[in-house]
Amino acid sequence: MSALIAALLLLLAGTGTGVVLTRNPRRQVLALSANGLVLAVLFMALQAPDVAFAEITVGAAAVPLLFLVVLASVKMDRSPRAPDPS
Amino acid sequence: MSPRLRLVLFALACLVTLPAVIGIALNMPAFGAHPMPYGDAINAAAPRERHVSNMVSAINFDYRGFDTLGEEFMLLCAVTGTVVLLRGSRGEALEARPGIVPGRKMPPRSDAVVLIARLFAPLTMLFGVYVALHAMTTPGGGFQGGVIAASAALLIFLGEGYRGWRGVVKSPMLDVLEGGGATLYALCGFASMALGAPYLTNFLPLGTFKDVWSGGLMLVENAGVACAVAGSFALVFLEFMEETRTKKAEEGQ
């Protein structure tokens, strides 16, 4: 195992712990995105560019974006300006 | 369940599973070891049999092409379900105003964001098309290229705002891309059957090794997957972004 891969694995463990320990949902989304980014770089270092592509687009960008939208939408629904019985 | 009880349960579960986990971990092949005869077989066979240099594509679109058809329709069903749930009250109109979260300011888009998004949206789109087109020769393929293209469409939102984005990225267009791509993949299989071969048999000329247009029927299937994935992801982005707009009922206020 090269130093690069060891460093990336450590970084992955670090960012993963960060995701678990972050309590604020909005920050947690960003932590998740950082975790996905490190994972993509690790896949790249392990010579799996196919998976790295998928991880960086889906794991580091698309999923965090959907979470951010959901958080915004939930916040809006709780506002007093939106009394919606349905 | 109190936090203390949860901790006790967690410790008990650890005690029970730990010996098995350690046993498995010690018996795993060494990191980077290569006990994968199937991978070696594909590496040896695919360039000769299918004339492609990206083995992942050879597996996805040919050796287990029927599996990919299943994945394709799984994605189609998941996205259709999401769209059915979310299409409706919010953000359908181009002039729908952004939703308001109390106590949060709404700063205007910064020039830096607009500049970066305008620079990178076309480049990202080009890269997505490149990745999808070179599925048979270099890493990547229809799925990866499609997702990259869909995120390029999202960069338009960052650069031009909701109204400008909705003006370019139209929902019916994405519906056609998504469904059409999946249908194209399924039709490839029926074309094989029409020629008397089993479903998804590669009947087109395979081309030359390391050429962009190598792989025969895989090229058509790859195009189908690229369209379907780009359409699906863009559609999910669109339906989700609509949820950040105000509801129709509120627009009069």
User: Mind listing the pLDDT tens digit for each residue in B54-99?
Assistant: 999 999 999 999 999 999 999 999 999 999 998 876 777 777 778 7
Return the structure tokens found at B237.
């982005």
Q: Does A82 fall in a domain? A: no
Q: List chain A residues with CB under 8 Å of B34.
A: none
Number of domains in chain B: 1
What is the percent of chain A where pLDDT is above 70?
88
Q: Does A15 fall in a domain? A: yes
User: What is the domain range of residue A16?
Assistant: 3-77
Please say if the pLDDT value at position A85 is more than 80.
no
Residue B130, chain A, CB below 8 Å: the answer is no
Q: Does B37 fall in a domain? A: no
Q: Does A25 fall in a domain? A: yes
Please give the average per-residue pLDDT across A58-81, as a whole number. 84
- Asked which of A34-48, A56-70, B236-250 is least confident by mean pLDDT, the reply is B236-250
Task: Look at residue A72 in the predicted model and tell me its pLDDT.
Answer: 87
Q: List chain A residues with CB under 8 Å of B243.
A: 69-70, 72-73
Report the mean per-residue pLDDT for chain B: 89
- Asked which of A70-74, B120-124, B179-183 is least confident by mean pLDDT, the reply is A70-74
User: What is the domain range of residue B137?
Assistant: 53-97+109-247
Q: Which positions ≥6 away from B117 have C-beta within 8 Å?
A: B155, B156, B158, B159, B160
More confident residue, A77 or A66: A66
Q: Which positions ≥6 away from A12 have C-beta within 8 Å?
A: A35, A38, A39, A42
Task: Look at residue A86 in the predicted model and tell me its pLDDT.
Answer: 46
Q: Does B16 fall in a domain? A: no
Q: Does B13 fall in a domain? A: no
Please say if the pLDDT value at position B187 is more than 60.
yes
Please say if the pLDDT value at position B126 is more than 60.
yes
Q: Does A60 fall in a domain? A: yes
Q: Does A65 fall in a domain? A: yes
Report the mean per-residue pLDDT for chain A: 88
Q: Does B2 fall in a domain? A: no
Phi, psi of A13 (to 5 degrees): -60, -40
Please say if the pLDDT value at position B209 is more than 70.
yes
Please give the average per-residue pLDDT across B18-45, as a whole number. 88
**Closest in A54, A62, A73 to B244, CB measured:** A73
Task: Look at residue B252 in the predicted model and tell me its pLDDT.
Answer: 47
Please give the average per-residue pLDDT across B206-228, as a whole number. 91
Residue contact B247–A82, C-beta within 8 A: yes
Task: Look at residue B68 in the predicted model and tell me its pLDDT.
Answer: 93
Please give the average per-residue pLDDT across A17-23, as a whole number. 94
Please say if the pLDDT value at position B230 is more than 70.
yes
Task: Look at residue A83 in the predicted model and tell me its pLDDT.
Answer: 52
Return the structure tokens found at A65.
């974006």
What is the percent of chain B where pLDDT is above 90?
57
Please give the average per-residue pLDDT across B144-163, as a whole number. 91
Task: Look at residue B173 in the predicted model and tell me its pLDDT.
Answer: 93
More confident residue, B247 or B48: B48
How much is the pTM? 0.87
Task: Look at residue B162 in the predicted model and tell me its pLDDT.
Answer: 87
Residues 38-77 on A with a CB inside 8 Å of B are 49-50, 53-54, 57-58, 61-62, 65-66, 69-70, 72-73, 75-76
Q: Does B167 fall in a domain? A: yes
Q: Which positions ≥6 away from B233 have C-beta within 8 Å?
A: A62, B146, B147, B150, B151
Residue contact B140–A50, C-beta within 8 A: yes
Residue B250, chain A, CB below 8 Å: the answer is yes
Number of domains in chain A: 1
SS3 B245: strand
Q: Does B238 fall in a domain? A: yes
Q: List chain A residues with CB under 8 Å of B143.
A: 54
Task: Look at residue B248 in the predicted model and tell me its pLDDT.
Answer: 63
SS3 B90: strand
Q: List chain B residues with CB under 8 Å of A83.
A: none
Q: Does B197 fall in a domain? A: yes
Q: Does B84 fall in a domain? A: yes
Distance from CA of B197 to the nearest CA of A (A): 30
B54, B135 Cβ separation under 8 angstroms: yes
Give B247's DSSP letter: B
Best A53, A65, A70, A79 residue to mutate vs chain B (most B CBs within 10 Å): A53
Distance from CA of A40 to the nearest CA of B (A): 13
**Closest in A54, A80, A82 to B144, CB measured:** A54
